[in-house]
Amino acid sequence: MSVIVAVTGKGGVGKSTMAACLIRSAIEGGLAPVLAVDADPNSTLAPMLGQKVTATISEIRDEVLKEKANVTGISKERILEMKLQECMVEAKGFDLLTMGHPEGPTCYCYVNTLLRGALSTMRANYKMTLVDNEAGMEHLSRMNTDNIDCMVFVTEPTISSTWAVKRTYDLSLGLPVEVRRKVLVWNKIRAHGIPENVREPLADCQFDEVIEVPMDENMELLSIGTRDVFSLPLPGPVNRLLDACGLRA
């Protein structure tokens, strides 16, 4: 079994935080090894997992383009595979790949096609692949030739982040792959709860599970970089995330 989970939502709502928590729960729940893919150009997943990034996929794209396969006698596919290994941070229970900055003026279609193939093959070595996305779905549609087992939509109780979920939800309906399960996470809930008008944009959306995570000091600590997700108590509802995603080992 190799399942794929994608975390999406507006900037700053807590995607990487929830992704890090989910990786911890997956490892503790017997779903190791996990392949964590940080697909946000503003990469922050690594420190939350207690890791440092050595190289990103964006960097190796350029290097692969520059390599002259016919001179070295090694195919571009093989060169890419070797370079992907250089980007891989290996840790206990999970490996981490960081996408890095989006593309510039160079055309990377060719390398991206190779990349899609390589990632798809690589995924077979893991019980779970978790993709921490930017708000758009670009990387997701690029990287994925397979169906998505669960998409986790993260939102704060604000109108703008709820509308962002609505847009991504609508987009997910038109993806060329099946999204098997959809989970909504209301994050950073304060004592006054979630106002009705903030819920309204999502009234027609059908989520398999909805989880409400309170504003939590430990979750705040995660972004400071002094603590990682494995050394903090998680707020109760976060522990339900793995089940909500339909992912018990």
Ligand X SMILES: Nc1ncnc2c1ncn2[C@@H]1O[C@H](COP(=O)(O)OP(=O)(O)OP(=O)(O)O)[C@@H](O)[C@H]1O
Smallest gap, in angstroms, from Cβ of residue 169 to ligand X? 16
25 binds ligand X (CB under 6 A): no
190-197, Cβ contacts within 8 angstroms, sequence gap of 24 or more: 190/157, 190/214, 190/215, 193/157, 194/157, 195/157, 197/159
Instruction: Draw the binding track, 215-244, toward ligand X (x: CB under 6 A; -: no contact).
Output: xx--xx-xx---------------------
17 binds ligand X (CB under 6 A): yes
Residue pair 22/130 in contact (Cβ under 8 Å)? The answer is yes
Residue pair 167/198 in contact (Cβ under 8 Å)? The answer is no
163: amino acid identity, one letter: W
Residue list 174-203, contact with ligand X (CB under 6 A): 187-188
Residue pair 58/99 in contact (Cβ under 8 Å)? The answer is yes
51 binds Mg ion (CB under 5 A): no
C-beta of 149 vs 216, nearer to ligand X? 216
16 binds Mg ion (CB under 5 A): yes
Render 117-133 in DSSP notation, one character per residue: HHHHHHHTT-SEEEEE-
According to CB under 6 A, which one of 183, 213, 244, 245 is a site residue for ligand X?
213
Placement of tokens 């990387």 in the chain: 139
Smallest gap, in angstroms, from Cβ of residue 196 to ligand X? 21
177 vs 147: CA distance, rounded Å: 5
Instruction: Draw the binding track, 30-59, toward ligand X (x: CB under 6 A; -: no contact).
Output: ----------x-x-x---------------
- Which ranges constitute the DSSP H helices of the chain? 15-28, 45-48, 57-66, 69-72, 76-87, 109-123, 138-143, 159-173, 196-199, 217-222, 241-244
68 vs 59: CA distance, rounded Å: 17
9 binds ligand X (CB under 6 A): yes
Render 137-159 in DSSP notation, one character per residue: SHHHHHH-SS-BSEEEEEE-SSH
By CB under 6 A, the count of residues binding ligand X is: 20
Q: Select from 11-19, 83-91, 123-131, 157-165 the region that touches Mg ion (CB under 5 A).
A: 11-19
By CB under 5 A, the count of residues binding Mg ion is: 4
Q: Select from 35-43, 64-72, 145-153, 241-249 the region that touches Mg ion (CB under 5 A).
A: 35-43
Contact positions vs ligand X (CB under 6 A): 9, 11-17, 40, 42, 44, 187-188, 213, 215-216, 219-220, 222-223
Contact positions vs Mg ion (CB under 5 A): 15-16, 40, 44
